[in-house]
Structure formats: structure tokens, C-alpha cells
Structure 1
Amino acid sequence: MFTGIIEDMGRVVDIRPRGTNLTFEIQSSLAPELKVDQSVAHNGVCLTVVAVSGDRYQVTAIDETLKKTNLGALQPGQYVNLERCMSANGRFDGHFVQGHVDETGICTGKESLNGSWLFDFEYSPESQHLTVEKGSICINGTSLTCFNSGRNTFRVAIIPYTYEHTTFGFLEPGQRVNLEFDVIGKYLQKIMANQKQG
């Protein structure tokens, strides 16, 4: 379980194919605190640490993960949002994030407002998922509140701290992002769908 509060931006140092999988070597200030078998969210994708050395560690993403997220498009030198799994006695500052990406979306707009930024996103109109006004959304692992919620579109506002300490500072229109919709909303949607069918 994660909260969507990003702890660090990790730099992709190396990417090595292993069959249909990819092993990523990440440089991060978190690396010395990590251990093998620990879960870490990378752009919102929960991956298991398989090796640690100094300020670097390795994780492997299987083919299914690469097809359903934006991790397969990463290149050496790029950054990813990192969050370790939530500790049982930790403060819950974001929202319930599972680290299981529902689908990817596209950034369709970016607007600077002299101190903050507005980002617009679009996802598949055939999607089973939805957003609600002032509801929670996880974008590349970052817990945010969406507004201007449409059928398959929404907008988020980014404060300077988030812009500087997450990959939002690098995000431009046309780029693909990982989306995890609010788990409570997903359960409610499923319950309502079952009631309609019954």
C-alpha cells in the first residue's frame, strides 16, 4: 500500500532486457535504505527491489507491466517518481494507492499560472474507470485532486513544490502517464454496475 506522496525522483542509470522483461538500474538517495524484496512504486508501479549497491538499486518489470504502463518508454537519464510502501505507523498524507496502474493517459495541456501549473489529461473513452469532481487520482504515482472532470478527461493543479520535486517538472503535452483511479470509487462503480445487472 502507498499514499501517493513522492519521496524522491530516481534517475534511470541503465536498462537491460532479460527475455521479454526489463531490468532498471535506478540511482536514488533512497537506495542505501532499501533492501532486496522491498516494494517501491516507480511512477506509480509497484516493483520489487532485486539488488542494491551504494546509491543504486535494481528492479525488474515484466512484459505485462511494460505493456500497461509508461515504464517501457523510459530511457537512461530520465527520472521516475519513487515512493516506498507505507509503514504501519506512518501518517497517511495522500490517499489509498495500490501501486497497480489501471491504464495510461495522455497529457493534453499544460498552463503556467505565475506560480502554479494546470495540467489536462485524457484517457480512453471506452474506459471502465472514471473521475469525479474533487476526487482523488494518482498520476505517475503522485496523489492529486482532479477537477473539470469529464467523461474521459480531467485537470489537476500543481503547486511549485510538487512541480520541483516530482516528474511533473519534465511533463509536456503529448506524453503518456500512468493512472491509478481511486480504489473506493472503483468498488462503488462495480457495486452499482452489479445492481443494474441484477
Structure 2
Amino acid sequence: MKVKAMIKQNNVLREQMTPSNRSYMEDMILEMRSSRVEAVRAEELLLEAANLMLREQSKGKDAKQIFGEQPGDYFREIIDSIPKRPVRSQWNYYLMISWASLTSLFAVLAIAGLILLWITGSAGIFSQISLFTILLVGAGSVVIIELLMKWLSSLSESDAPKPKPFDLKGLGVYVVIVIIAVFAGAFLENLFPVISISPWVSLILCLGGGLGLKLIFFRS
């Protein structure tokens, strides 16, 4: 059975559960889908758990009696048995993200700079870049991609459970962090040198970066 079909079947089974059991099952789903377990195997296990839940529910049992106090307990042994990504592979993955982000940055500088150079005779702001910007794009892209992938892994293809939204307090904390990051960035940028760079040099760096991605990270 395909993943999408199993997800739909799981959704149907959850509709037959009591509200408390459904909530528990949805927490189990989020736990499993955010783990390292391969997608097809994860959905098979979730489908088995949903069927077990309904069988035991018909006998008057609730989710905690069936699976344990915490939604992740039932699958803990399976999840922990999946080997973590090797450290070297993980660093290669992070390097690829940074490399691709910097390649994109130089592509923007090249394209925008050449267009402005053709129109006005000067590349303007696209003829220089701060070392801080280079470091920020290289490191920040890794953080953003990791957060994005973690969020996407908790979602399904249909009406499966969605992650719980931030509460007001949590939102306030994130806003404060963003404000601090903006002011810190503005302050730190003045401490780093600004490099003059021709749009043509940016274009060469962009093409070189793209070639590097192909030869180093996407070799067949």
C-alpha cells in the first residue's frame, strides 16, 4: 500500500476513536513522522497502531492503557534502533546547504549588478558585499533549512494532524529573539570589512559554485 493510501486509511480510523484516544494517536503520528524512520515503514506502524487502538477501545481501554503514558513510548525502541546519519555525511549535507546558498547569493549579485550596470553604468550596491553577509548567509541557511525540514516532516499529505500552534507567550519570545538578531546584525555588520566585487566576478563565482555543486555533491 502506498504512503498516501495509508495516511487516508489512518485518517478514517481516527474518526472512529474517542476524542482523548484520537488526540493521543495524533501525538503518536507527529512523533513518528518527525523521526528517522523511513516513510513507508512509519505509516505501516501507525496504521497497525490505529487498528490496535480501535480493537482495544472496543474493550473499554484508553490510549495510555494500550500504549503507555507518553505517545512516543510505544515506538521508542523502533525509533532508537534507526542509526543516526554519520557525522561526516551530516557535515557534507550542511556544507552543501551553505555552498548552494552562497552560490545563490552571488547569482543575485551578478544578475542584479549586470542589469544595473547596463542601465545606469554602475552596479551600485551590487558591486560590494560585507563579509558579515557572507558568513550570515552561509551559516543562517543551515539553521533555516533544518527548521523548515523539521516542520515539513511533521505534516502529512492530507488532513492528518498538524503541529500545535505557538501560544502567545511562545510567539512573544520568538519576536524578541528576531528583534535582538536584527539589531545584533546591524551592529556586527559594521565590525566586518566590506568587499568590492564586480558583477562579472560574482557571475564567475556563481558559475563556479554551480559547477562545484554538480561535481562534488550531485555526482551520479
Same fold (TM over 0.5): no
Larger radius of gyration, structure 1 or 2? 2
TM-score (ref. length: structure 2):
0.21
TM-score by length of 1: 0.22
* Higher relative contact order (Cα pairs below 8 Å, separated by 6+ residues): 2
Of Structure 1 and Structure 2, which has the larger fraction of its residues in strand?
A: 1
